Structure 1
Amino acid sequence: MRKTACSTPSNGSGRTARSSGSPRASPPTRRSAPAPSGARVSDARPVREPGARRLVLWRHGRTAWNLENRFQGKTDIPLDDTGVQQAHRAARLLAGLRPTHLLASPLRRAADTAEALAAVTGLPVRTDGDLTERDGGAWEGLTSREIRERYPEEHKAWQPPGGETSAQVAKRVAAALERAADDLPPTGLLVVASHGAALRLGMSALLGLPEDVWKHIGGLSNCCWSVLTELRDGGWRLAEHNAGTLPEPVLGDDRTDNGS
């Protein structure tokens, strides 16, 4: 694993779409997907044809709240000028991977990041509401310092009052990624534009890691990505994490080494 520090239509599941992807065939049998305790992906999923699918999990570009170290959560904050530039630069790199499908969180900072890659590849962008960032409850809009001062116990446990638990986020994001993978052809490459905490937690669940080790997976810098490759048994391997070219700090909603 290489590691570098850088930067459908509605169907009752909470998903939305900008443009429709290819139709999905109904499989004859179903299976259970492995997931860590407290973050089960699904009790019944379609059997995928064996293949070499890849998932590129791409965090959105920088926002003003990232720069101010404010918890964004589900608040719909747009990219700042630097974030737009990051998205276009990363899109040129990711286009070289020859993606076959694009998927995004509907929040503007992620959807607009995905559109930068769509402009280069000509691929349509689908959105899925289950890829939104962690609901930060009372923390949204607060700086890291304000959270520590006003909610010391909740900060220590990293549990926003009125927000989602880590296990809840991991479960919904991992389920969205599995659904998307089920729609891929055996050699498909899906780029998913989403959010730092959502991707880290969803990826941890998808890899089958127990909840007590999720904290050991580092955060994603703005416009950096992780790559998951499909295993023969339908599981996933982390091939790259926080990949890019130049080291960049991790700014955002997810917990970092300094506890911010």
Structure 2
Amino acid sequence: MSDPRAAREPGRRRLVLWRHGQTTWNVEHRFQGKTDVPLDETGHRQARRAAALLAGLQPTALLSSPLRRAADTAKALADLTGLPIRYDKDLIERDGGVWEGLTGREIRERYPAEHAAWQPPGGETSAQVAKRVGTALERALDDLPPDGQLVVASHGAALRLGMSHLLRLPEETWERLGGLSNCSWSVITEMRDGGWRLAEHNAGTLPEPVLSDDRPDTAT
């Protein structure tokens, strides 16, 4: 049986990686990880504002992490476009181990060596997250038609690392990609050779700091 991907015209598919809106833990600088923290009121407003802009891209498919802060962000776009939301557990945020629920100051004080290496005890490594999320993105793109436009609602560290995997960036360069602000997005476009190009990063940003579970030298 022939591979359906062989008949796909390259250079047409587009992937929009959309970070969820603000939560109270973002504001408190707490590491969220896989803890299911909901959007706060500001986060819901951010999601509606961003959804109105993303709807103009005429997306054809909508995929989300099942964690509420991402799922409710995706719902704002689904309400405008009528697209069904599919969920993939491999799009959840980095497992933060014992760091989850702690503030940045608490992490620095209690786990100085692990903080310096940005490796949460009992949690995932950056390489593990990159492979998990990147593979989920590749899987979703395999199902996307040649002119498809896929929006993925997920999380800051998960998206930055998954994007690095998809772009085939070497691990030593991953930190060169800055963090995503709440409800901002990056756009990945298909190249004619079937590879992927970063067309936009952290688009839709308002003049505010990045509040994220990502590395402190790429986010405040």
Instruction: Report TM bin, short chain.
Output: over 0.9
Q: CA RMSD in A?
A: 1.5
- Report runs of 4+ in structure 1 exceeding 3 Å deviation: none
Q: Normalized per residue, which structure has more helix?
A: 2
- Aligned partner of 1:77: which letter? V
- Aligned equivalents of 2:28 and 2:122: distance in 1? 22
2:48 pairs with 88, 106, 110, which one? 88
The aligned residue for residue 39 of structure 2 is 79
Q: 1:231 aligns with which of 179, 191, 196?
A: 191
Shift, 1:28, TM fit: 2.6
Report the AA paired with residue 197 of structure 2.
R
Q: Structure 1 residue 29: deviation in Å?
A: 4.0
Residue 259 of structure 1 and its aligned partner are, at CA, apart by: 6.9
Q: Is the CA contact 1:100–1:190 (under 8 Å) kept in the aligned structure 2?
A: yes
Amino acid paired to 1:49: R
Please state if 1:137 is matched with 2:97: yes
Sequence identity, in percent?
75
Q: Decide whether the 8 Å contact of 2:181 with 2:205 is kept in 1.
A: no
- For residue 146 of structure 2, what is the amino acid of its counterpart? P
Quickly say closer, same or farther: Cα 1:253–1:245, change in 2 above 3 A. closer
TM-superposition CA deviations, 1:128-161 (whole Å, max 9, x none): 0000000000000000000000000000000000
1:187 Cα deviation from its structure 2 partner: 0.7
TM-score by length of 2: 0.96
- Distance in 2, matches of 1:233 and 1:61, equals 34
Aligned partners of 2:195 and 2:21: how far apart in 1?
A: 29
Residue 50 (structure 1) aligned with residue 9 (structure 2): yes
Superposition deviation, residue 47 in structure 1: 4.9
Map of 1:143-154 to 2, 5 A cutoff? 143-154=103-114
CA gap of 1:140–1:48, structure 2 versus 1, over 3 A, is farther
TM-score by length of 1: 0.81
Counterpart of 1:113 in 2: which secondary structure?
helix
- CA distance in 2 between partners of 1:206 and 1:47 (Å): 19
Question: Are the equivalent residues in 2 in contact too, given 1:100–1:189 (CA < 8 A)?
Answer: yes
Give the 5 Å matches for 1:1-260: 28-29=2-3, 47=6, 49-51=8-10, 52-244=12-204, 246-257=206-217
Rounded to whole Å, the distance in 2 between the matches of 1:76 and 1:246 is 25
Amino acid at match of 2:32: Q
CA 1:239–1:146 in structure 2 vs 1: closer, same or farther (change >3 Å)? same
Q: 2:28 is matched by which residue type in structure 1?
A: E
Is there any run of 5+ residues in structure 2 with no aligned partner, and where?
none
Is the Cα contact below 8 Å between 2:23 and 2:69 reproduced in 1? yes
- Report if aligned partners of 1:250, 1:256 keep a CA contact under 8 Å in 2: no
Contact 1:48–1:182, Cα closer than 8 Å, also in 2: no
User: What is the deviation of 1:50?
Assistant: 2.7
CA contact (8 A) 1:219 1:256 kept: no
Q: For 1:59 and 1:256, locate their aligned partners in 2 and report how far apart those are by CA, in whole Å.
A: 17
Structure 1: unaligned runs, 5 residues or longer: 1-26, 31-45
Q: How many residue pairs are counted as aligned between the two chains?
A: 219
| Distance in 1 between residues matched to 2:180 and 2:126, nearest whole Å | 16
Q: Distance in 1 between matches of 2:191 and 2:218?
A: 34
